[in-house]
Structure 1
Amino acid sequence: MQPLPVEFYARQTTLVAKELLGTLLVHNSDEGITVGKIVETEAYLQGDPACHAARRMTPRNSVMFGPPGRAYVYFTYGMHYCFNVVTASEGVGEAVLIRAVEPLKGLELMRKRRGRERLHELCAGPARLVQAFGITKEHNTKELTSGPLYIAVSSEPSPEIHTTTRIGIKEGADLPLRFYIKDNKFISKK
């Protein structure tokens, strides 16, 4: 599977968020390989009050300012990690949150990591997919164009995309920056 090039990420964040739908999230870990189709994303823009980079650069969010094509993994609610891909031009603090993935390969490893059997419970939500894929804080700032964690081109045709408001946030919740594959049963929430 061919990783997406850095040029894919160095574009408008909302466009990247939409075009990530249908691509493949791949993690080759020491435990084994996990692969899933990205089915839900959310865009976080620099002027957006829900974006971690909305106010200024900090040690936590500095990866969001580039270069694009890197992982932004952060700890939230004192218990979960979330996985984002850095987008836009270097110096612009933006990223796309990967909200849900349709599990395709490495299902037993995902089940072991999640402690769940039902396929739908493995990767339907940002914290779930991070756990199922074995993504940790050690992946923060890592390039997604090479290495064990990457996003690959899919051979499937472009999916039909549904656009709606983001979920699980208070500020900027009214912005239509959540995208998912229409009628996909692996999204986190309708």
Structure 2
Amino acid sequence: MPDRLRRSFFRKPADRLAADLLGQRLVRAHRGHRRAGIIVETEAYLGTIDAAAHTYQGRRTPRNEAMYADAGHAYVYFTYGMHHCMNVVAHSADTPEAVLIRALEPAEGLEAIRRRRPKARRDTDLTSGPAKLCAALDIDRKLNAADLTSSTRLWIEPGHTITPDRIVRTPRIGIDYAAEWTEKPLRFCLRNHPHLSRPAP
């Protein structure tokens, strides 16, 4: 089994995990081939208190059940009838917090990634958004609830150490409905990175 992040890495509040995931390597394995990228942008969703979270006020449905799993599981959902988004479950079982993976820097399997994203005009656009990276790495609902500490199809490997001065925090994207949670700085980005979903000040 390849070196990968252990359960203890994920057992922390989502806002801490969102920062700590920056620089780590997300790996998708399929038929003996690897596609991977360095995580450069994340968003934290703080569970039952967070008006933007799928588990706000304790909401629990078949769709979001994976958010109630132990830390280190994948929560993959389908949105707008066409896109998948991948989250990493944080904290602990029945404390439904998660981190949305918003952007990657492609690191392995670049030709395969390009084939899965034929409309991308440049390499910096291949995985610069949550739906884009799921399309590029072939992440869909079949991987929902995958245990990232043991799965042979999807996991996260240790990557670069990121110092705090390289991290920028901004409000999350596309959550205008979330009242006072709209402006909370729960988006985490690598400063000036070319693969971000949108620039961060």
Equivalent residues, number: 189
Report the CA distance between 1:124 and its aligned residue: 0.1
In 2, are the aligned partners of 1:36 and 1:104 still within 8 Å (CA)? yes
Runs of 4 or more, structure 1, over 6 Å off, are: none
Report the CA distance between 1:67 and its aligned residue: 1.1
Match of 2:141 among 137, 154, 177: 137
Normalising by structure 2, report the TM-score: 0.90
Report the CA distance between 1:30 and its aligned residue: 2.0
What is the RMSD computed on CA atoms of the aligned residues? 1.2
Report the CA distance between 1:32 and its aligned residue: 2.3
**Identity rate, percent:** 43
Is 1:168 aligned to residue 170 of structure 2?
no
Query: What SS class does the counterpart of residue 132 from structure 1 fall into?
Result: helix
Report the CA distance between 1:99 and its aligned residue: 0.0
Query: What SS class does the counterpart of residue 144 from structure 1 fall into?
Result: coil
Instruction: Tell me how far apart the structure 1 counterparts of residues 103 and 155 of structure 2 sit (CA, whole Å).
Output: 15
Aligned partner letter, 2:9: F
Most deviating of 120-129 and 60-69: 60-69
Report the CA distance between 1:117 and its aligned residue: 5.3
Task: Tell me the equivalent position of 1:185.
Answer: 194
Pairing 1:1-190 to 2, within 5 Å after superposition: 1-30=2-31, 32-46=33-47, 47-55=49-57, 56-115=59-118, 116=120, 118-146=122-150, 147-154=152-159, 156-159=160-163, 160-170=166-176, 171=178, 172-190=181-199
Instruction: Tell me how far apart the structure 1 counterparts of residues 64 and 55 of structure 2 sit (CA, whole Å).
Output: 6
Most deviating of 120-129 and 51-60: 51-60
In 2, are the aligned partners of 1:81 and 1:127 still within 8 Å (CA)? yes
Most deviating of 41-50 and 22-31: 22-31
Normalising by structure 1, report the TM-score: 0.95
Query: What SS class does the counterpart of residue 125 from structure 2 fall into?
Result: helix
Report the CA distance between 1:31 and its aligned residue: 7.0
